[in-house]
Amino acid sequence: MSYLRDQEELRDLLLSGYPFVFVVCEDDYPVFKTLNIIAEKSRRNYDFFSWNCSGGLFYENRKMKTNPACADENEVLQFIENYERNAIFLLQDFHLHFGDPKLVSALKETIQHITIPLASEFSRARYSTGSDAIKHIVVTSPVQKIPPEINKLTNIIHFGLPGKEEILEILEAVIGKKRSVYADLTAAELEKIVNSAIGLTETEIFNAFAKSMHRYHGKIDYQEVTREKIQIIKKDSLLEYHEPAFGLDEVGGLKHLINWVKKRKIAYNEELRLKYHLELPKGLLMTGVQGCGKSHSVKAISHFLEMPLIRMDVGALMNKWVGESEENVRKAIKLAESVAPAILWIDEIDKAIPDPRSGNTHEVTQRMLSTLLTWLQEKTSPVFVIATANNIDHLPPELMRKGRFDEIFFIDLPKFEERREILAIHLKRKHQNPDSFDLDLIARCCEGFSGAEIQVLIHESIFEAAYRGERLHTNHLLEEIRKTTPLSVTMRDKIEAIRNWAKTHNVRPAS
């Protein structure tokens, strides 16, 4: 992710004589900088103007003592046509005026007037004075909106966001006199700061760095910068932001899954990745018995990898109108890539899979699945995808195929040692000392309980103890166990079917 290539493309287009360039960008500033550099360094000795509807036309490289009075969009086009020196004109958000047919027609005529070799012919035919000046119009806009009348006269550039090189330059500029504060930063710490800013515009990065330095007495905290990405998610309702408060040490059991994740973290250390030629992980798919820790594990992995966690609810993206569900998926994917490196949690991905028993949703869900699968296979952005699925009896082969995910894990009901770990974790969360309880006895008695059921067991036991005015002890938990019928009993056949599916498909056990 970088706009260095985009800068080169813009420079090549202008120096090759292209008259009209439409730049799609989230931030005008890098485009402005690029044009200013071209104007200063080109042998053509360009004058450089910028224009917007509120401030009018402004002479940027100060060769004129006063700025022309061109607040109106038609006036600025007339000024461009009549200007007799080599010049670059940056028209900010000019697309806002494309609803006016007369203006679009005037813009088309202006482009043709400054186009080489058409310029002299148009000048003789339509205007009393002609000029050999080389002029360019650059329009910046956050959306691609090109009127059909000028489509063939337009060259489009999608200006990217700052990459690592640009972010380091911004960091140097922001630090300034405080550079000594960062003299003892390790390469890993510096990389964390840079990675935290990836996905933000230059303006957002400046603001995030300045806010962090204000809050942390002159230092930049990468976690504070990462939180600025929340704003990007909040501005769109397609995804949800989660900020986990616990790590892998609060996951009971699932040792195979945890060890796999720990090994993948080294891929996000750029020095090690280059040394060992590691590829960035694509992600993983977790299936299994409901309530056994899939969602809990996702949050813990996010905390461990030190990445923002954004959740995609496939069901919420579905829309009754034809085509909107697929468009929602594409928008959500683009949004996730804009805040990368990040973890994209596709919750209940089975909802995006067509159920052959339902003819109403088959076509829509098939297209949504196709959009997701194509992206999972081809994505190059540092988005670590974690998908969870409960209804796994119709997961298609194309989802299970290697290349979509790096690994698929099956999460079963916790074994004895895992139940003991889960009990200890949840007791600590309730400010209880696990050593004060007979964990071995409780773990044996709650055989068949899921992790979620064990959590509820402790929650209900505390209520009972509080109601009686007693201190929580082992007997409270044992009493609650006797009153509880776990899902492993009420849904025995379905759980056995899930286990058989995992064995048949040779899915890797998480523990």
pLDDT in tens, 98-109: 999 999 999 999
What confidence score (pLDDT) does residue 124 get? 46
Q: Is 286 exposed, middle or buried (0-12, 13-18, 19+ CB in 10 A)?
A: buried
CB distance 489 to 447 below 8 Å: no
The DSSP secondary-structure symbol of 448 reads T
CB distance 14 to 38 below 8 Å: yes
Helix (H, G, I), strand (E, B), or coil: what is residue 277? coil
The DSSP secondary-structure symbol of 309 reads E
Q: What is the pLDDT along the chain (511 residues), one digit of tens a residue?
A: 578 889 999 999 999 999 999 999 989 999 999 999 999 999 999 999 999 988 888 998 766 656 676 778 999 999 999 998 999 999 999 999 999 999 999 999 999 989 865 555 555 444 444 467 899 999 999 988 899 999 999 999 999 888 888 888 888 888 775 655 566 677 778 888 888 888 888 988 999 998 888 888 888 888 888 888 788 787 777 888 888 888 999 999 899 999 999 999 999 888 888 899 999 999 999 999 988 999 999 999 999 998 889 998 877 777 655 567 777 888 888 888 888 889 999 988 887 666 555 555 556 677 777 888 889 989 888 999 999 988 776 677 777 777 889 999 999 999 999 999 999 999 999 999 999 999 999 999 999 999 999 999 999 999 999 999 999 999 999 999 999 999 899 999 988 888 888 888 888 999 8
Q: Which residues contact 245 (CB under 8 A, 6 or more apart)?
A: 303
Strand blocks (E) in 376-462? 383-389, 407-411
Element (H, E) at 136: strand 135-141
> What's the CATH number for 241-411?
3.40.50.300
What confidence score (pLDDT) does residue 67 get? 66
CATH classification (class only), 4-158 = alpha beta
Between CA 400 and CA 395 the distance in angstroms is 8
DSSP, residue by residue, 232-265: HHHT-TTSEEE-----GGGS-S-HHHHHHHHHHG
What confidence score (pLDDT) does residue 129 get? 43
CATH classification (class only), 416-489 = mainly alpha
Q: Nearest to residue 498, comparing CAs of 426, 387, 411?
A: 411
pLDDT, one tens digit per residue, over 317-339 is 776 555 677 778 888 888 888 88
Please give the structure tokens belonging to residue 48: 């450089």
Q: Which residues contact 421 (CB under 8 A, 6 or more apart)?
A: 252, 253
- Asked if the domains 4-158 and 241-411 are classified in one and the same CATH topology, the answer is yes
Please give the structure tokens belonging to residue 200: 């933000």
Q: Which residues contact 153 (CB under 8 A, 6 or more apart)?
A: 19, 20, 108, 111, 112, 115
What are the residue ranges spanned by the domains of the chain? 4-158, 164-227, 241-411, 416-489
Helix (H, G, I), strand (E, B), or coil: what is residue 238? coil
The position carrying tokens 């999608």 is: 158
Q: Nearest to residue 442, comparing CAs of 467, 461, 464, 428?
A: 461
Please give the structure tokens belonging to residue 188: 């890993």
CB distance 355 to 315 below 8 Å: no
